[in-house]
Amino acid sequence: MKKMIIRLSGLLVLAVLVAACSAPAANPAPAAAKPVEQAASGNVDIQMKSFAFNPKEVTVKVGTKVIWTNMDSAGHDVKATDGSWGSDTLNTGQSFSMIFDKEGTYLYVCTFHAGMIGTVIVTP
């Protein structure tokens, strides 16, 4: 009887291991964010979702309007790291936009959530 219980226990452990190995991951690693390129006449949308800017980096032409929209339940803001521009607090569904009229690399953050960082690269 003892041997049978040991064998059944072993089979149960094996079944659990096989099921765990074949189940999809609960939180698969996100794909690497790719820069978004947009023509000067268009807009680029960035979502604040899951406490991150998505996409994290965009490359745009001079004159492009970038629009940030808060899709989270928490408030966020968008502030240049050099303090030259920024939004007020954006609640769920609210947006902030800016037209980038000069070449350069613009780093920005959400001042409420240290891990929320992003970059707008403006090309001619």
Q: Count CA within 13 A, CB hemisphere, residue 107.
A: 4
Q: What is the pTM (predicted TM-score) of this model?
A: 0.69
Residues 70 and 91: their CA atoms lie apart, in Å, by 6
Residues 74 and 5: their CA atoms lie apart, in Å, by 52
46: β partners: 68
Compute the average pLDDT of residues 50-79. Answer: 97
pLDDT at residue 31, rounded to an integer: 41
Domains and CATH numbers, the chain: 36-123 (2.60.40.420)
> Mind listing the pLDDT tens digit for each residue in 8-64?
344 333 333 333 333 344 444 444 444 444 544 589 999 999 999 999 999 999 999
> Mind listing the pLDDT tens digit for each residue in 97-123?
999 999 999 999 999 998 999 999 999
